[in-house]
Amino acid sequence: MRFIRYNWACFNCRYTTRRFDTPRCAECGRECTFLGPKIRVPPKSNVRQWERLFQLVMAHRRRWQLHSERYHVRVRHQTERYIEKLRHTKPNNPTHARYLRQQIRLYCKRLGIPVEN
């Protein structure tokens, strides 16, 4: 089995390398930018293609960040609704009541909000 190697680049020096972990640029020493396993790296002399690659990587990062923010907001809302549901659930017996309180505490802690009884 071969190790997976990803493409990494330094956009300042147009330096590239294929590694598994985050490398530093051999020319300026800064941390390289992750490009993934499949992206085609332009020749060092082609400044325009490098500029285009940089724009692509930045656009991809912005999209990913936006997606991840939306995901966290959605999960938070779902958790808040679940806590409300738990709070309005009538326990059948003391064990169930304890379970409900425990679940409420757990999810409140997860959201970083105080537990009210």
Asked if 32 is part of the footprint of Zn ion (rule: CB under 5 A), the reply reads: no
* Cα(73)–Cα(10) distance, integer angstroms: 33
Token pair for 11: 């956009």
Of 20-28, 33-41, 51-59, 84-92, which part binds Zn ion (CB under 5 A)? 20-28
Q: How far is the CB of 32 from Zn ion (least distance, A)?
A: 8
Among 5, 19, 22, 27, binds Zn ion (CB under 5 A): 27
Token pair for 106: 């757990």
Of 33, 28, 47, nearest in space to 19 by CA: 33
- In the complex, which residues of this chain contact Zn ion (CB under 5 A)? 10, 12-13, 25, 27-28
